[in-house]
Structure 1
Amino acid sequence: MLDWNTKSIPDRWLNLAQKKPDDQAIIHWDAIKGKRVWSYNGLISTALLYTKFLTDNAVKQNDVCAIIIRHNPDFYPIYFAVGLIGAIPAILAYPNSRLHADKFRHGLSGMATHSGLDWILTEKELEDIVTPLVSIEKNKIKGIIYPLTSDKDNIESSKHDDYLKACNAILSTADKNSPFLLQHSSGTTGLQKAVVLSHHAITSHIQEYSSVLGISNSDKVVSWLPLYHDMGLIAAFHLPLICGIPTVQIDPFQWVSMPELLIEVISEEGGTITWLPNFAYDFMSDRIDQDDIRQYNLKSLRMVINCSEPIRAESHEKFFTKFASLGLQRSSLSSCYALAEATFAVTQTLHGKEAKKLNVNRNLFSKNIVEVATPQSAQDNIRSCVSSGKVLPSCQVKIIDEDNNELQDKKIGEIVIQSTSLFNEYRNAPQKTNSVLKGGWFYTGDMGFLLDDECYVIGRKDNLIIYAGKNIHPEDVEDVISEVPHVIPGRVVVFGVDKVELGTQTICAIVETNVDKDKYKDLKGNIKRACMSIDISISDIYLVPTRWLIKSSSGKPSRNVNRDRILRYEHEEQT
């Protein structure tokens, strides 16, 4: 039986190390170097050595420590060490090889200013990039620390008890409502908002969420998700560590190169729960060769939780069809609506239940009305919606119109939420905080509707296109275009452009393709015809090569950034 009354998250880690010292805590999975298993006792013992290293480098309680480290087995005790000395961890994305050093440095500088970073804990390979940040006065960065180069083996492990006493002295002064971590919301680097989450917000949320998931001692989480994203950090990392069940951590970069790795690890480790963004369902279904996974099975997997709004019915069906032969159960196809500002989950499909699918009248849907389609409905007038599940007991969800009036079920509007695990503020951003936190309600900017106590998320409010008096959700158009041959699935961005002379918006699409330019005309014609099938007229189609689209930190193509980029490019071409 778990004790949920510990004051801080590090207290819980220490408690688990005492109660189950030799149990598996983290299985660090590396397809090249092999796996490393961390027990609770092993994690704490190594973390205590790192606490000595950090305090020797002048890191203090309440200092914000940005951690920029790749998939490394020592990442975990380093993260633990930051928490054990009462400092505040903030995991940031390690730059990929295609990101220019100046761009990364500029983004990190903006984040340092907005989030108030005190220290950067990173790898020696980034030394030339990050060192200049210390000299920028407005950043107020105290220094750069390279923990992986520390000779922790020479730190006096015999003083383990002394290090532990020092940590306990610090933790005894912590309040359950004091900040534990900074979780950055999705967005491009430098523009992300830092969400402050307290010990209590995280533990109380995980207590409730784990109950909804039906977590037991037989569960094991498997994840390739990056830990700088709330789905990876809260759901796939903190939840199992707080609940005392193992988590298997796969290198995100290895998964992208070998998506079958997730299938292999679930099969070999007996994984029971995994979270995936919607694009991963299509990515794995399209990229994995059946011959490469024939020897594996997914019988142990009881929940595959789709946590990327909006959820695509087609993605679920494709995924199930692909992996049913490995023992995947249809009831495992689950869903969740989550936000960094709510710690994580707001809604969740009940365990043992498949996420509910709903077919609606497409024409009425464009007028913000949900009418369930009948068997006699014309197929070209049907839009499929997938529920994100039922609202968690400690949360409240309502749908509002532009005048802040609450809407009834089956009416589309903005989703606003209340929760006991709601964030307190965006760090150092009172104006942004006040713009979304009003009267105890968080205005999410997401559009959706309620029906039969289930929440359906359909897109972002600021992405909505008003075309000829109809509300067009760009995700719908992107889905249709992604089905066109020679279009790279999931690599499509649709947006609206205001046309004053027409009194409406026109619809534009950026589409990644690998066809030769002499075939562009035919492909554009096929895209236009596909959109006409859902009564959409595309004004401009921009065909671009693979990897042209810029992604946000959540791994999805950034609509605003790519829109501005293509329009700027078009303007430069014209002038």
Structure 2
Amino acid sequence: MATPGIQIDRAAVHDAVVGAVAELLEELGSHRLPSEVKPAAHLERDLGLGSLERVELVTRLSFTFQVNLSDRVAAEAETVADLIAAVVAPLDHLSGPVTEILGPAPGAPGVAPDEHVWQQFETLTEALLYRARANPNRRHILLREDSGAVRHVTFGELYAGASAMARGLRARGLQPGDAVALMLPTSADFFTSFFGTLLAGGFAVPIYPPMRADRIEEYATRQSAILRSSEARFLITFRQAEAVARMLQPHVPSLKGVLSAARLAQTSNGGTTFEPHRARPSDIAFLQYTSGSTGEPKGVTLTHANLLANIRALVEAVDVTARDVCVTWLPLYHDMGLIGTWLTPLTMGIPTAVMSPLAFLTKPDRWLWAVHNHRGTVTAAPNFAFELCVRKVKDEEIEGLDLSSWRAVLNGAEPVNPRTLDRFAQRFARYGFHPEALLPVYGLAEATLAVTIPPLGRGPLVDRIDRATFESAGRAVPAAPDDPAALEFVSVGRPIPRHEIKIVDADGCALPERVEGNLWFRGPSATRGYYRNPEATCAIQKGDGWVDTGDRAYCAEGEIYITGRVKDIIIKAGRNIYPHEVEEIAASIEGVRRGCVVAFGVADEQAGTERFVIVAETREPRRSGTRAAAAIEASIIQQVAEAIGMPPDVVELVPAGSIPKTSSGKLRRSETRRLYLLGELRSGKPPAWLQMARLAAL
């Protein structure tokens, strides 16, 4: 019985239902005008809303009015008037002021239309809670499993799975502010474990699962260091990796337990009342450990505020809307995959089609077909992925492929090669790919993810500059159009909204345009530092909010051009040599494995400069010393000398798998240099069984 004196405002119900129908039509890209949404309008015949769309509409109305509308409403309601009547009926039996039933009036403080609600989120948990309540049946994760089947995970299912994980963690003693390491592959368990950790009050530490048996000792050493640095309380893993995970436990004093994701969810007490932890914007959401090549790993501290600031800026720069569909194969333990292609779609309430990195690497055409099948619009990948598609995808594998829906294709996380961009655009033009969709971008973990993005719809911008002037004086002078030796750098655009950058000299003084210097940035996405590592934090913080990226760059007409890492540049006889250019030249030679070449400098005290060294993995089954190897070495020396005007001092050919890489596939130049100086590049690795035995004996 309604409370005396309180009347249901039927006009308000009418307007809210009509508004919800119009909003859904807009999201679906319907040509129908809001004025066509009238009480008498037939949902299917007049408005084009089929059974699935009506289910979504009824779900939204149930959440908006806080009433339980039965499944029969979605099946039997024929007109907008039927929906209004279905909503009014239970409201007539409710007590309490109408504002408690309908919520604050539209436009009231703290309320925003659904398409703008992402701007109001203060924490990731708040974003998930909203999506699970507002859109519980909306498909969010379209997960390609190993069998090739696609598993759909709705927002409601994601929240339910995460809640089960959270209960299990709390039952085992997890306290607010505790770290939980996630050693999981691309799977539903990763998604539920990540948010389960946050809902329980902890923060996540994603680490990559073991991938190569021949490097298990190196893997264990690095992951133990990360677990000690983060003071991880629990490690969530999967059945195949439990043995390795348990070997790490004795080396991490803080670690209370190694937990299987599957068993953790099954053993949680689903019957108990669960109240999710209410995080604050300043709370740590997760630690992103850098790909550091030597020494102790550094955990970049990322708060909920950092993440949502970067996500908002990214959404604005790429103009992400409710109509977008993300497609990704990127590893979820890496910032571009975790933040760019999952947490951003989650915040926006849009679907993301996900496959494992291995699924892409073994058959790159799967990525392209996922775009086709899901009508993907937005994606991101490192430069090598585009090169792999050009070289490995065969015409017969992509017959009938349509890439015309792809509107924003971000290329970042490693140096962007202008020739790769050209090759990719030309190769897939006949399949509907638009070259202006390519967006070379720049970012780093210390900035959460993105720092610069170019304008949409323009396509890549390449700057050709005079080589001699740049390498000797650091000035980016435009080259003559017919200069065959010109250096080429790709613009990575301008700073994302609400962020700033500047190019400075060694003293921190701003440099003019077209002069190379150190790249600094500042903004709300900037990390507050490395977790429990004040010394490393001080090294990057430059005062007044500025953070040193460790990268070199120059600015031209407001656009940023990244030239390389400070520590990677080779200085030979007064000239700066840029490794990525040399590596591309050497990789083009027959017999050299593309993406498996490293160039670096080593001190030469007698000459008073650096020796210029190139290490390349060869396709030859035998190592240096054979006639075929000699021919490859000669070709590398000749082609590098012709291209940059300086031959390498040393060319070292090594077997496949010798050059170390990060978990995201980046070359570890510093580690390769260290192994070269120790003479260990050719020594090979002990068999996996011996490495496991050594670990067990520690």
User: TM-score category by the smaller chain?
Assistant: over 0.9
SS at structure 2 position matched to 1:446: strand
Which residue number in structure 2 is paired with residue 62 of structure 1? 177
Indicate yes or no: 2:627 matched with 1:518: yes
1:432 maps to which of 518, 536, 543:
536
Counting aligned pairs with the same residue, the percent is 27
Contact residue 454 and residue 493 of structure 2 kept, 8 A: yes
Indicate yes or no: 2:465 matched with 1:360: yes
Which residue number in structure 2 is paired with residue 350 of structure 1? 455
Contact residue 167 and residue 200 of structure 2 kept, 8 A: no
Cα distance in 1, alignment partners of residues 365 and 175 from structure 2: 42
Contact residue 49 and residue 155 of structure 1 kept, 8 A: yes
Indicate yes or no: 2:574 matched with 1:469: yes
2:438 maps to which of 325, 330, 333:
333
Deviation at 1:346, TM superposition (A): 0.7
SS at structure 1 position matched to 2:525: coil
Cα distance in 2, alignment partners of residues 383 and 6 from structure 1: 44
Which residue number in structure 2 is paired with residue 414 of structure 1? 518
1:530 maps to which of 613, 618, 639:
639
SS at structure 2 position matched to 1:127: helix
Q: Which has the larger radius of gyration?
A: 2
Cα distance in 2, alignment partners of residues 518 and 181 from structure 1: 52
SS at structure 2 position matched to 1:149: helix
Which residue number in structure 2 is paired with residue 29 of structure 1? 144
Indicate yes or no: 2:562 matched with 1:448: no
Query: What are the Cα deviations for residues 261-305 of structure 1, in whole angstroms up to 9, with x where unaligned?
Result: 101111101111110101111122111112111222111100111
Q: Extract unaligned runs of 5+ from structure 2.
A: 1-114, 684-698
RMSD: 1.9
Query: What are the Cα deviations for residues 369-406 of structure 1, in whole angstroms up to 9, with x where unaligned?
Result: 1011232x421x21111001111131111111223222
Cα distance in 2, alignment partners of residues 31 and 146 from structure 1: 19
The TM-score normalised by the length of structure 2 is: 0.78
Query: What are the Cα deviations for residues 471-509 of structure 1, in whole angstroms up to 9, with x where unaligned?
Result: 111112112112222222221100111111111112110
Which residue number in structure 2 is paired with residue 89 of structure 1? 204
Indicate yes or no: 2:53 matched with 1:53: no
Which residue number in structure 1 is paired with residue 255 of structure 2? 141
Cα distance in 2, alignment partners of residues 7 and 206 from structure 1: 12
Which residue number in structure 2 is paired with residue 566 of structure 1? 676
1:9 maps to which of 113, 124, 127:
124
Which residue number in structure 1 is paired with residue 233 of structure 2? 118
Deviation at 1:310, TM superposition (A): 2.2
Cα distance in 2, alignment partners of residues 60 and 385 from structure 1: 49
SS at structure 2 position matched to 1:118: strand
Which residue number in structure 2 is paired with residue 307 of structure 1? 412
Indicate yes or no: 2:362 matched with 1:252: no
Which residue number in structure 1 is paired with residue 133 of structure 2? 18
State how many pairs are aligned.
561
Which residue number in structure 1 is paired with residue 57 of structure 2? none
Question: CA, structure 1 residues 299+189, in 2 after alignment: closer, same or farther (shift >3 Å)?
Answer: farther
SS at structure 2 position matched to 1:222: strand
SS at structure 2 position matched to 1:438: coil
Which residue number in structure 2 is paired with residue 107 of structure 1? 222
Letter in 2 for 1:201: N
Cα distance in 1, alignment partners of residues 424 and 207 from structure 2: 30
Question: CA, structure 1 residues 29+189, in 2 after alignment: closer, same or farther (shift >3 Å)?
Answer: farther
Deviation at 1:158, TM superposition (A): 5.4
Cα distance in 2, alignment partners of residues 256 and 266 from structure 1: 16
Deviation at 1:156, TM superposition (A): 5.7
1:539 maps to which of 639, 649, 665:
649
Cα distance in 2, alignment partners of residues 22 and 182 from structure 1: 31
Cα distance in 1, alignment partners of residues 347 and 467 from structure 2: 43
Question: CA, structure 1 residues 190+235, in 2 after alignment: closer, same or farther (shift >3 Å)?
Answer: farther
Contact residue 68 and residue 91 of structure 1 kept, 8 A: yes
Contact residue 224 and residue 250 of structure 1 kept, 8 A: yes
Contact residue 497 and residue 505 of structure 1 kept, 8 A: yes
Mapping 1:178-327, distance limit 5 Å: 178-188=283-293, 191-327=296-432
Cα distance in 1, alignment partners of residues 480 and 647 from structure 2: 26
Deviation at 1:130, TM superposition (A): 2.4
Question: CA, structure 1 residues 27+399, in 2 after alignment: closer, same or farther (shift >3 Å)?
Answer: same
Where relative contact order (Cα < 8 A, 6+ residues apart) is larger, the structure is 1
Contact residue 109 and residue 190 of structure 1 kept, 8 A: no
Cα distance in 2, alignment partners of residues 464 and 363 from structure 1: 15
Question: CA, structure 1 residues 149+157, in 2 after alignment: closer, same or farther (shift >3 Å)?
Answer: closer
Letter in 2 for 1:402: A
Contact residue 413 and residue 449 of structure 1 kept, 8 A: yes
Question: CA, structure 1 residues 410+151, in 2 after alignment: closer, same or farther (shift >3 Å)?
Answer: closer
Mapping 1:501-512, distance limit 5 Å: 501-512=606-617
Letter in 2 for 1:564: R
Which residue number in structure 2 is paired with residue 378 of structure 1? 483
Q: Extract unaligned runs of 5+ from structure 1.
A: none
Deviates more, 1:53-62 or 1:345-354: 53-62
Deviation at 1:75, TM superposition (A): 2.2
Deviates more, 1:122-131 or 1:489-498: 122-131
Cα distance in 2, alignment partners of residues 572 and 188 from structure 1: 19
Cα distance in 2, alignment partners of residues 417 and 229 from structure 1: 21
Letter in 2 for 1:374: A
Contact residue 231 and residue 344 of structure 1 kept, 8 A: yes
Letter in 1 for 2:122: K
Question: CA, structure 1 residues 290+469, in 2 after alignment: closer, same or farther (shift >3 Å)?
Answer: same
Cα distance in 2, alignment partners of residues 445 and 251 from structure 1: 30
Contact residue 592 and residue 618 of structure 2 kept, 8 A: yes
Cα distance in 1, alignment partners of residues 568 and 437 from structure 2: 31
Deviation at 1:126, TM superposition (A): 2.7
SS at structure 1 position matched to 2:210: coil
The TM-score normalised by the length of structure 1 is: 0.94
Deviation at 1:6, TM superposition (A): 3.0
